Amino acid sequence: MKALVAVKRVVDANVKVRVKPDNSGVDLTNVKMSINPFCEIAVEEAVRLKEKGTVSEIVVVSIGPKEAQEQIRSSMALGADRGILVEADDSQLGALEVAKILKGVVEAEQPQLILLGKQAIDDDSNQVGQMLGALLGAGQGTFASEVKVEGDKVQVTREIDGGLQTVELGLPAIITTDLRLNEPRYAALPNIMKARKKPLDTKSPADYGVSPATKLKTVKVEAPAERKAGVQVKSVDELVEKLKNEAKVI
C-alpha cells in the first residue's frame, strides 16, 4: 500500500526563539530550521512499515516556502521515495487550509495510510490530522504510540490523559504520531546523496483548488511575562523556611 507523510519545516527544537520588537511575530532570520520532530517520527514509521513489506511506496508532502525542499530531501534520505512541495506562504496558512491542500494531495495520490505529526512545535496547534480526517471522512488515530496494520485495518494505540487507548480504523486512515512511537534514524551519507536524485514535484495550493487565506488573524505576538529571578538556597532548612514563611505554599 501507499503511504503519504506530511512534513513541516519549523524552527529547530533547540532554538530559543525571540519575539520581534514590533510584536508582529517571532524572529526567524538566520535561525536554524529543521523538520518538525513529530513529522520525522511519521517518516520513520512509514519507512519501518516499508521495511516490513506493509508499505510499498512513501510519498512525502510539505506545504510551505521553497526552502521546505530541504525537509523533503531529508525525508527522502531517511527512506521516502518521492516528494511533493506545495509552495505557499506559511503566514497565510492555517491548519484548515493545510488540511484542505492535503485532502487534494490524498485524492490525487490515493494513499491507504496518511501519517502526520501530532503537532508542529512552532504553532503548537495539534489540528491538521484531525481536520484532514474530517475532510476525507476517514478514521483518525491521533497521538499514536503504536501502529499495527492487519489486512485492511489498522490498530493504533493512542496516548491519552489517563494512559493508553487502542482503536481500530478502516483504510484509508489518518495517523498522527506521538514522541514515543519510534526513534528516528539518522540519514547515512550515501542515502543523502541518493535522495538528491529522487523525484520532487512542485505544486501550488491553486492546483488543489485551495485559496490559502486563513480567517484567523494574528493581532500581535508578545514575549511571555518574565518570572522574577529566584534565589539559591544553601540548605534544606532554608528551603523549608522559605516555602513555609515566604512563599507560604506548604
Partner 1 sequence: MSILVIAEHDNKALNAATLNVVAAAQKIGGDITVLVAGSGAQAVADQAAKVAGVSKVLLADDAAYANQLAENVAKLVASLSGYTHILAASTTTGKNVLPRAAALLDVSMITDIIAVEGPKTFKRPIYAGNAIATVESGESVVVATVRGTAFDAVANDGGSAAVEAAASTGDAGISKFVSEEIVKSERPELTAARIVVSGGRGVGSGENYHTVLDPLADKLGAAQGASRAAVDAGFVPNDMQVGQTGKIVAPELYIAVGISGAIQHLAGMKESKVIVAINKDEEAPINAVADYWLVGDLNTVVPELVSKI
For residue 204, the minimal CB distance to partner 1 (Å) is: 21
For residue 61, the minimal CB distance to partner 1 (Å) is: 18
Q: Residue 176 corresponds to which cell in the numbers above?
A: 498522527
Residue 23 or 56: the one with the smaller Cβ distance to partner 1 is 23
Residue 15 or 187: the one with the smaller Cβ distance to partner 1 is 15
**Which is it for strands 139-150 and 153-160: parallel, antiparallel or unpaired?**
antiparallel
Q: Which of residues 65-124 bind partner 1 (CB under 8 A)?
A: 94-96, 99, 118-119, 121-124
Interacting residues of 99 by C-beta distance below 8 A, sequence separation 6+: 127, 128, 131, 132, 134, 135
Are 245 and 233 within 8 A, CB to CB? no
User: Count of alpha carbons within 13 Å of 64, Cβ hemisphere only?
Assistant: 18
221 binds partner 1 (CB under 8 A): yes
For residue 200, the minimal CB distance to partner 1 (Å) is: 28
For residue 109, the minimal CB distance to partner 1 (Å) is: 20
Residue 190 or 230: the one with the smaller Cβ distance to partner 1 is 230
Closest CA to 87 of 121, 62, 56: 62
| Number of chain residues interacting with partner 1 (CB under 8 A) | 80
Are 113 and 175 within 8 A, CB to CB? yes
151 binds partner 1 (CB under 8 A): no
Q: Residue 210 corresponds to which cell in the numbers above?
A: 485551495
Question: ∠ at Cα 158 (181, 16), nearest 5°?
Answer: 55
For residue 111, the minimal CB distance to partner 1 (Å) is: 16
219 binds partner 1 (CB under 8 A): yes
Q: Residue 155 corresponds to which cell in the numbers above?
A: 490498530
Residue among 29, 189, 217, 245 that touches partner 1 (CB under 8 A): 217
Residue among 4, 6, 7, 11 that touches partner 1 (CB under 8 A): 11
Are 104 and 207 within 8 A, CB to CB? yes
52 binds partner 1 (CB under 8 A): no
Residue among 5, 85, 114, 138 that touches partner 1 (CB under 8 A): 138
For residue 12, the minimal CB distance to partner 1 (Å) is: 11
